[in-house]
Amino acid sequence: MLRARAAWRGFVGGAWHPAVVRTAYRCRAYPDQAQQQVLARTFGCVRVVWNTTLAERARRWQHEHRGTRYAQTDAALTVMKKDPELAWLNEVSCVPLQQALRHQQQAFAAFFGKRARYPRFKSRHGRQCAHYTRSAFSMRDGQLRLAKTPGPLVFVWSWPGVDIGVLAPTMVIVSREPDGRWYVTFAIDASAAAPLPETGRAVGIDLGVTSFLVMSDGKKIANPRHLQRRARNLARYQRRLARCQKGSANRAKARAKVARAHRKVRDARRDFLHKTTTRLVRGHDLIAIEDLNVAGMVRNHRLARAISDCGWGEFRRQLQYKCQRAGRQLVVIDRWYPSTKKCSACEFLLAELSLSTRTWRCPSCRLLHDRDLNAAKNILAAGLAAARGFPGDACGADVRHLEIPPVQSAVKQEPQLARAGIPVPQDGE
């Protein structure tokens, strides 16, 4: 799996261009028995340091109403390593332990910035990982060696076009999934590639459940429904897991089968999203999408599973970094923009439109609209208006450019007037 994130370093020709792109290569790893023992011990130490520090943060805030800085957690880690009962913390590399404290500090910064929820305690049954910086690993001739780990770590490189021998990673992440598979991730800072040639095409996208997306040019991509196709097998494995006694070896095997079933669904969904987003980025210069409140939409218990199976959040994340890497423009329309209830031909605005209504006829121009196609056309119109610098009905705050530095939104907006049907004369008119 390949991920990329642009680091913006300069203002050239009236636009910001990425100078360095942080890219991550994720590969299958095959540690031997001795390496697995060392890495498992490292995972346990990382988990203990994280949970102990998190509990101390909560206790200090509850009783003393005081926050905790990273320097204080780092000093507390030194005290923990000197404790005779926690002397086994010295058996592993100190770098993953310090990285866990840094990640916890970032998690609290995101929480106080209202970008994430409160950090949670780590479980031994979930995904385990350890982060190694340059001082804790060496990469020579394609061989990876980790601190306090015997021998080189065997992994499979899946990118023939990238020379592993000249790769200079800034960080290495070793992880073990709940299904028992091992992975190693290399994070590198590479030079930004040249932007793709212009195509002269723009597209508006409306996401849905029946059709995964509908484009403004009329094309539709069906929803593959990965979870629904494997729901029966997954339910059977979960029933077997529920019958096993807690703490038994059979329960561990059943838990691994459930994790493997979820992994197959996750991999199929990710593969579909990567192929879809790559085609969109390669074929269009401007892509306009709608900002969906996915967290609020999954509160509908009738549609929660179907919405979660679509992966709209991952779709937007992939579109964002691929557009930045390819030099494309991605415009996100505000979630309150009436893309569905607005006529794409005459801009007539309905007052209400139920979710079950899939087609509707405009009372003004009498044009019959497909619900999703009409929304995609309106999203494209709003995106083009924002790209030209004339937001129009969006009032300047209904669209957000995914650019750095970000375009500041308007503070105040004029209320939108809802017009539906034939106006009813009032008294005196």
Give catalytic residue positions.
206, 290, 372
List CB contacts of 271: < 8 A, sequence separation 6 or more: none
Contact 283, 201 (CB under 8 A): yes
Q: Is-contact 312 5, C-beta < 8 A?
A: no
Coil, helix or strand at residue 335: coil
Query: Distance (Å, rounded) from C-alpha 20 to C-alpha 153?
Result: 28
Is residue 395 within 8 Å of 410, Cβ to Cβ? yes
d(CA 222, CA 314): 17
Query: Are 130 and 39 spatial neighbours (Cβ–Cβ below 8 Å)?
Result: yes
Q: How far apart are CA 161 and CA 189, in angstroms?
A: 17
Helix (H, G, I), strand (E, B) or coil at 127: coil
Q: What's the burial of 220, exposed, middle or buried (CB within 10 Å: 0-12/13-18/19+)? A: middle
Which long-range contacts does 153-159 make (Cβ < 8 Å, 24+ apart)?
153/29, 153/31, 153/35, 153/184, 154/29, 154/30, 154/31, 154/32, 155/27, 155/28, 155/29, 155/30, 155/184, 156/27, 156/28, 156/29, 156/30, 157/27, 158/27, 159/2, 159/25
Cβ proximity of 271 and 314 under 8 Å: no
DSSP secondary structure string for all residues of 212-262: EEEETTS-EEE---HHHHTHHHHHHHHHHHHHSPTTSHHHHHHHHHHHHHH
Q: How far is 238 from 255, CA to CA, in rounded Å?
A: 8
* Closest C-alpha to 323, from 176, 203, 145, 164: 203
